[in-house]
Amino acid sequence: MTERPSRRTPEEFRALILDAAAECLVEGGFASGRLLSAIARKAGVSRPTLYKYGGTVDDIKEALVERELAAFIEHISPAFDELAWTPEYLTDLLVLVIDYTRHHPLLTAALRDVPELVLPVFTLHARVQVDRIEEFVTPVLRAHIAAGRMPDVDISVLVDALYRVVMAAVIVNTGHDFDDPEVLRSYLGTGLAFLTGLPASR
């Protein structure tokens, strides 16, 4: 295709390409063999422009993961401002994270179209995701620990444990309707109350 001269900056081109890629993937592009062509059409750019600012399919997918992770962190950041070391707070935090993740358009589409590719990313190879989350929350939690708002817990273990709870609630389907926030809240509240009532063994 022929493009008109554009005054867009490289950052604007990249954002345009990523927006188009996200739309294509949600519409079924995870299973498409012509994803780059679809992205170029939706973004209204030529293939050379797509390669220049977006790169390969893998480059675009990796950039999308980075962007969505940043959006996720921005979404949950306010919850850490009012941190309280209580079962009620942890329940609210988990409901926030699980509800966001279960209804994320890209993750929902990936699980629908290519579960065999996406499930290992969040299970067998979850170290990358866990490390990124830990990198974000560690300084925040350290500040709360220093201020006496929470005990001096092992942050690495805490993040790992909460990640496992979240991914189980997102991926494992049982008889509980976790798309209903009240069902999810009740389930998590009951589980946390049960676990926090047990002494830790060493």
> Is the Cβ–Cβ distance between 103 and 97 less than 8 Å?
no
8 A C-beta contact, residue 122 and residue 114 = no
Q: What is the pTM of this model?
A: 0.84
Q: Tell me the C-alpha distance between 117 and 10, whole Å.
A: 30
Q: Is 184 helix (H, G, I), strand (E, B) or coil?
A: helix
Question: Alpha-carbon distance 118 to 107, whole Å?
Answer: 8
pLDDT at 145: 95
**pLDDT score of 202:** 46
Separation between Cα atoms, residue 189 and residue 183, nearest integer Å: 10
Q: Which of the four CATH numbers 3.30.450, 1.10.10, 1.10.287, 3.30.410 does domain 1-55 have?
A: 1.10.10
> What does the mean pLDDT of the chain come to?
89
Contact between 164 and 201 (Cβ < 8 Å): no
Q: Distance of CA 43 to CAs 14, 30, 33, 61, 109, Å?
A: 10, 17, 18, 15, 20
What pLDDT sits at residue 41?
94
State the pLDDT confidence band at 146, using cuts at 50, 70 and 90: very high
State yes or no: pLDDT of 63 exceeds 90. yes
Across 172-183, average pLDDT:
91
C-beta atoms surrounding 41 within 10 Å:
14
CATH no. for 64-196: 1.10.357
- State the CB neighbour count (10 A cutoff) for residue 82: 9
Look at residue 6 in the predicted model and tell me its pLDDT: 61
Query: What pLDDT is attached to residue 199?
Result: 59
Give residue 194's pLDDT.
81
Separation between Cα atoms, residue 66 and residue 68, nearest integer Å: 6
How far from each other are the two terminal CA atoms of the chain, in whole angstroms? 66
Distance CA 12, CA 18 (A): 10
CA–CA dist 22, 107 (Å, integer): 10
Top pLDDT among 37 and 194 is at: 37
- What residue ranges of the chain are covered by domains with CATH 1.10.10? 1-55
